[in-house]
Amino acid sequence: MISAQTVRKLALQFEQAEELPHFDKASFRVKKKIFATLNEKQQRATLKLSENDQSIFSLYGDKTGVFPVPNKWGKQGWTQFLLEKVDEEFFSDALTAAYCEVAPKDLSDKYMIE
């Protein structure tokens, strides 16, 4: 299980990451591009992943805890993480992948896992 506070802490650790409102949720952005949103009421984070990363995290995450958004956004890589179903290390790896997916190369290169 991971808390909303931990999601914020992890998301804001990336260079030039900022938190801004996005409708009724918090969004985490780099250079104005959203890499994650946090819905505290539903205890859910939604991350922007590549198609490959989406399938990997969905495969290894608890089937009921990590899954593509069930609409056209899911086909674009948006993936939901139910906070009560994922642990911090797993979520942190997914969040890093999401940041690297939208950040400019000079920033994402600093976090790429090789």
* pLDDT tens digits along 59-74: 987 677 999 999 999 9
The overall pTM is greater than 0.85: yes
Q: What is the band of 45 on the pLDDT scale with cuts at 50, 70, 90?
A: very high
Q: What average pLDDT score do residues 45-68 get? A: 91
- Domains of the chain: residue spans and CATH: 4-108 (3.90.1150.30)
Strand order through the sheet with 25-30: 17-22, 25-30, 33-39, 44-48, 78-82, 66-68
Q: What is the mean pLDDT of the chain?
A: 94
